[in-house]
């Protein structure tokens, strides 16, 4: 029997620590791969001793800087993400999971898509405020400088009656820039993310009876539940199968837009296979790291209802 559980609250500190730690380790693995690539490239270039030394120095710097940067950026991002979720969940409802024992058998489509797209909207709006108002301020500054520069140029050339409507034009562009980032982008982000998350939930519910769903093992932790283990293969397989379908749709649509059915078929196949492999590896790595870190730093804690 499927039991519907709603994630009412995410404990911000454990979620932030776990998320940032996983990203830091993944960044460290990525840095090692970059260093190996640098070494292979240097080895292929004959007589490139100085170049090889430079590439090695850059590679070792990346090994230190990339994980640290990823860790600190994700501390901020994950904390804000949990905070936004906790503020929105009481108003629009949290993520609901149809659990049968430890297995996620279904994901109710509308609650899943609604809360996550609302989180995306808030993040997009915050980004839009920064980019929109920042860019608008720069454009407004330019629009103010242009008439002054024009007056100086006119005086220097003894010209009279010179008019530069560019300042007004730049002011209009400034307003449109801010409008785009603060209003239009959040609306577009909501529509796009709602459709994307809804499709994910729909295909998850369709595919899971055939391949099995994600398994989540919880333990009571006071008034919350701690996610103590995520079995690797069920998580990686279920998510990558869903992304295979979404990748096939994306590749086919992108190919159709070129007007060539052969390109559409090739896109369908390549994106389906590519997304399956990519997400299987990513999810498998993430779950392995989660299970490794959980006994050491504690797992994500959720308040379920």
Sign of CA dihedral 180, 182, 188, 192: positive
State yes or no: pLDDT of 145 exceeds 90.
no
State yes or no: pLDDT of 140 exceeds 80.
no
Check: CB of residue 271 under 8 Å from CB of residue 265. Answer: no
Check: CB of residue 22 under 8 Å from CB of residue 291. Answer: no
Sign of CA dihedral 137, 143, 149, 155: negative
Sign of CA dihedral 212, 213, 214, 217: negative
**Per-residue confidence (pLDDT) for residue 1, from 0 to 100:** 76
Average pLDDT for residues 11-40, to the nearest whole number?
Answer: 89
* Model confidence band, residue 151 (pLDDT cutoffs 50, 70, 90): low
Beta strand segments in 21-138, E: 96-100, 103-106
Calculate the average pLDDT of the chain. Answer: 85
State yes or no: pLDDT of 165 exceeds 60.
no
Q: Bigger pLDDT: 141 or 39? A: 39
Cα(255)–Cα(252) distance, integer angstroms: 5
The string of pLDDT tens digits covering residues 204-263 is 999 988 888 999 999 998 889 999 999 999 999 999 999 999 999 999 998 888 888 888
Sign of CA dihedral 23, 120, 299, 235: negative
* Model confidence band, residue 161 (pLDDT cutoffs 50, 70, 90): very low
Judged by DSSP in three states, 2 sits in: coil
Q: Produce one character per residue of 262-292: b if its CB has 16 or more CB atoms within 10 Å, e if not.
A: ebbeebbeebbeebbeebbeebbbbbebbbe
Whole-Å CA distances, 293 to 39, 81, 223: 31, 21, 22
Q: Which of 39-48, 51-60, 233-242 has the highest mean pLDDT?
A: 233-242
Judged by DSSP in three states, 89 sits in: helix
Cα(58)–Cα(265) distance, integer angstroms: 41
**Per-residue confidence (pLDDT) for residue 149, from 0 to 100:** 46
Cα(214)–Cα(236) distance, integer angstroms: 8
The string of pLDDT tens digits covering residues 180-192 is 878 899 999 999 9
Check: CB of residue 104 under 8 Å from CB of residue 213. Answer: yes
Q: What is the pTM of this model?
A: 0.83
Q: If we measure between CA atoms, which residue out of 37, 58, 61, 39 comes closest to residue 48? A: 39
The string of pLDDT tens digits covering residues 101-111 is 999 999 999 99
Cα(33)–Cα(63) distance, integer angstroms: 10
State yes or no: pLDDT of 163 exceeds 60.
no
* Model confidence band, residue 164 (pLDDT cutoffs 50, 70, 90): very low
State yes or no: pLDDT of 85 exceeds 90.
yes
Average pLDDT for residues 99-122, to the nearest whole number?
Answer: 95
Quick count: other Cβ atoms within 10 Å of Cβ 106?
A: 19
**Per-residue confidence (pLDDT) for residue 129, from 0 to 100:** 81
Give the relative orientation of helices 49-92 and 12-44 as an angle to the nearest 10 degrees: 160
Check: CB of residue 63 under 8 Å from CB of residue 24. Answer: no
Phi, psi (deg, nearest 5) at residue 109 = -65, -55
The string of pLDDT tens digits covering residues 261-275 is 888 899 999 999 999
Average pLDDT for residues 95-106, to the nearest whole number?
Answer: 94
């Amino acid at each position: 029997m499927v039991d519907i559980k709603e994630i009412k609250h995410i404990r911000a500190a454990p979620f932030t620590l776990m998320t940032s730690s996983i990203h830091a380790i993944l960044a460290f693995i990525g840095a090692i791969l970059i260093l190996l690539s640098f070494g292979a490239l240097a080895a292929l270039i004959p007589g490139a001793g100085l170049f090889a030394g430079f590439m090695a120095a850059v590679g070792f710097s990346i090994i230190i800087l990339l994980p640290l940067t990823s860790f600190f950026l994700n501390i901020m991002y994950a904390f804000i993400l949990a905070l936004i979720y906790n503020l929105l969940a009481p108003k629009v409802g949290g993520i609901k999971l149809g659990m049968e024992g430890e297995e996620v058998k279904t994901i109710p489509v509308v609650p899943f898509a609604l809360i996550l797209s609302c989180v995306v909207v808030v993040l997009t709006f915050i980004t839009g405020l920064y980019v929109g108002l920042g860019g608008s301020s720069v454009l407004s500054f330019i629009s103010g400088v242009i008439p002054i520069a024009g007056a100086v140029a006119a005086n220097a050339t003894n010209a009279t009656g010179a008019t530069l409507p560019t300042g007004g034009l730049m002011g209009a562009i400034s307003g449109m820039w801010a409008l785009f980032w603060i209003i239009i982008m959040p609306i577009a982000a909501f529509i796009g993310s709602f459709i994307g998350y809804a499709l994910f939930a729909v295909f998850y519910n369709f595919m899971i009876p055939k391949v099995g769903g994600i398994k989540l093992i919880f333990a009571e932790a006071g008034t919350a539940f701690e996610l103590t283990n995520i079995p690797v293969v069920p998580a990686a397989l279920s998510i990558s199968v869903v992304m295979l379908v979404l990748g096939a749709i994306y590749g086919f649509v992108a190919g159709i837009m070129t007007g060539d059915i052969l390109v559409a078929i090739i896109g369908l196949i390549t994106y389906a296979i590519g997304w399956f492999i990519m997400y299987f590896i990513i999810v498998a790595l993430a779950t392995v790291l989660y299970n490794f870190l959980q006994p050491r730093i504690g797992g994500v804690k959720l308040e379920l209802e």
